Amino acid sequence: MQEEVYQVKLENIFEGPMDLLVHLIKKHEMDIYDIPIAMITDQYLEYLQWMKSMNIDVAGDFIVMAATLTQIKSKMLLPIHEDEDDQEDPRLEIARPLAEYLQMKAAAERLAERNLLGEDIFARNPDQEELLAGRQDEVLKLGLFELIEAFQQILEKISPDDKVRIAADSISVKNRISQLVDIFESRESVTFEELFPAGAVKSEVIVTFLAILEMVRLSLVRIVQHVQTGVIRLFYL
């Protein structure tokens, strides 16, 4: 039976290439004006390769950023001559737009926290986000790249002898979404690891992850991480 390929489109769903850079920089606690470009480039390319292997469609912006990082990495490898001491650091080519991006993102987050004009005219029922805001435990909204790292930890627990094969006779992403909806409707929230039962084969684990990504795209779930414990929890919206 011909193998079915389910592809998740990344564009206009999750973060973009700048967010991936921010994630890598924060992860290693780097100064954006002193980025170890070789390491960041290698890790960036590893992320793209992993997303492609998972049938996650990588938007063109990610490819452009990969080319830019590779070009900067090449410039950094070139020898510096004595008469070029005042030459501009090639890393500024990415550091400047990265700094501007962080400023705009911070401004957008501050604006999002403000009340919209006329928002309180119509009564509305509290959603899961408001319920989360009322909790005493501090949580953070989880991004795609943090979710990818959590999923990679799930995959590491599976035997390396287990081959990846998502065939037509296996459970589909659509069916898995239906199963997840049934779980969410019976419970207030579910931890990320609970959605990957012990003993599941790699193909089932991957289908579950793709189903979660699709539910995020459809705004069916909200994913947060507890600040103290690091536990990732999904809420049905």
196-224 tens-digit pLDDT: 887 778 888 888 998 998 888 888 888 88
81 pLDDT higher than 80 = no
Q: Which residue has the tokens 């659509």?
A: 174
Q: Measured between alpha carbons, how far is 13 from 218 in angstroms, rounded to an integer?
A: 9
pTM: 0.67
What band does 168 get if pLDDT is binned at 50, 70 and 90? very low
Q: Which residue has the higher pLDDT, 158 or 76?
A: 76
29 pLDDT higher than 60 = yes
Q: Measured between alpha carbons, how far is 88 from 94 in angstroms, rounded to an integer?
A: 12
120 pLDDT higher than 70 = no
The dihedral built from the CA positions of residue 134, 137, 143 and 148, taken in this order, carries a sign that is negative
Closest to 126 in 3D by CA, of 115, 134, 136: 134
Beta pairing partners, 8:
56
What rounded mean pLDDT belongs to the chain? 77
